[in-house]
Structure 1
């Protein structure tokens, strides 16, 4: 798997139930756009606001709907045994990858994180992508990522949602340098081209929910060595990524941007998250007009 992967939003109705028709419509849109992967139960999908049964339901529904792209399922939890349960479920339904963020809430050291991932890797066969998101969970250090990658063949890659090109550089050079098939993805739109230039494999980026054509154009231009076009697209993505700083959460930023662009997904987040008001929506509208016309 390489290229543009979309961490999917979870559509909700006014009563906070899952809006299945909107989910079906959005996955169809992304596949028609030509994205390389769809990732359900992601941070952008508000997985911490979903019950275990809902996460399994979404994983199963997504498996039915994703037919022309790689299918990834998020199975993170602060409870190692729940991670094992969810990862086994993802494996059983035929997902292509499980994406596992580290435990959150309670700080733990590298040895504890190694044991956490080891227990999951040893009890499942599905390819696992580590998910480093230090703003929300225990950080994954480069030595820890390397140790896991070299110890477990079913730990096949990492999503790096970290605003540090030095960290991404070290993962690519030190981990991928020793294990050539290890995949390195950025989780931040503004680092997409940087990651590709350094030898990474793509991005798992939330703005691709509403603007996948820009991400795909950067990918295609880079692969075809049309570097000036890739640079122009990367500058657009860098500008577009400012959407995150305009809202109070990833979810609010993405769902408001989708609302501005005319998607049928409602700008509704489950508590404790809230959707920002009209002033924020207008700021996002101005940004999208500037970047996308």
Structure 2
């Protein structure tokens, strides 16, 4: 697994129920675009606002719909036993990978974090992608990632949603340097190309929900050593990633952008998240007009 992976939005109706037709349409769009993977129950998918039953429903629906890309399933929780349950469910339905963010809310020691992941890894065979997102959950240090990767073969990689090239560099050099099959992905659109240059494997990036062609163009140009094109695309991604500065949450930024671009996914977030208002929508619209050729 490598390349462009999309942390999928979860479409909602006006009454906050899951909009299944919009979900089906969006997954089809992404697969036609040629993305390499789709990640259901991601941060961008508002997984913390979903019930356990809804998360399992989306897992099963994703397995049904995703046929031409790697299928990643988010199974994070602050309850270790719930993580084990959701991860076993993902394994049972045939997901290719699970992605597990650390527990949130309560600060934990590195030993507690190690035990959390170890308990999960020992219960399943499915490959696990660690998810380092220190703005939202307990941070994963490079030594902790390395320890987990070297002790558990099914801990297969890490998604780094961290605005630090030095951290990503150290994970690639110190972890991937000792375990060549360990995958390192950025979670930030603006760090896509520099992660590839450092020796990483790709990105799991929210803006690929509505602009996958741009991410895929950077990936293809880099693989084919057409570096001027890769640089040009990376500059566009860097500018596009300013979208996150305009909104209160990843999901608000992405759903507003999709609404502006004509996708059928409604600008509706599950409480406690709220969609940003008209002023932010106009800022996002202006940015999209500057960076993207409208296709919808």
Q: Given the two structures, how large is their TM-score scaled by the length of structure 2? A: 0.99
Secondary structure at the aligned position of 1:232 is classed as helix
Secondary structure at the aligned position of 2:122 is classed as helix
Q: For residues 74 and 15 of structure 2, what CA distance do their matches in structure 1 show?
A: 24
Q: For residues 182 and 61 of structure 2, what CA distance do their matches in structure 1 show?
A: 28
- Deviation, 1:62, is 0.3
2:243 corresponds to: 243
1:78 corresponds to: 78
Q: For residues 174 and 228 of structure 2, what CA distance do their matches in structure 1 show?
A: 29
| Residue-by-residue CA offset, 1:156-179 (whole Å, 9 max, x unaligned) | 000000000000000000000000
Q: For residues 175 and 183 of structure 2, what CA distance do their matches in structure 1 show?
A: 9
Q: For residues 61 and 176 of structure 2, what CA distance do their matches in structure 1 show?
A: 33
Aligned-residue Cα RMSD (Å) equals 0.4
1:223 corresponds to: 223
The answer to whether the aligner puts 1:16 opposite 2:16 as a matched pair is yes
Unaligned segments of structure 1, at least 5 residues: none
Secondary structure at the aligned position of 1:99 is classed as strand
State the 4+ residue runs in structure 1 displaced beyond 3 angstroms.
none
1:207 corresponds to: 207
| Residue-by-residue CA offset, 1:239-280 (whole Å, 9 max, x unaligned) | 000000001111110000000110000000000100011111
Q: How does 1:1-293 map to 2 (within 5 A)?
A: 1-293=1-293
Secondary structure at the aligned position of 2:126 is classed as coil
Secondary structure at the aligned position of 2:279 is classed as helix
Secondary structure at the aligned position of 1:123 is classed as coil
Q: For residues 173 and 218 of structure 2, what CA distance do their matches in structure 1 show?
A: 23
Q: For residues 100 and 20 of structure 2, what CA distance do their matches in structure 1 show?
A: 24
Q: How many aligned positions are there?
A: 293
Secondary structure at the aligned position of 1:150 is classed as helix
Q: Given the two structures, how large is their TM-score scaled by the length of structure 1? A: 1.00
- Deviation, 1:5, is 0.1
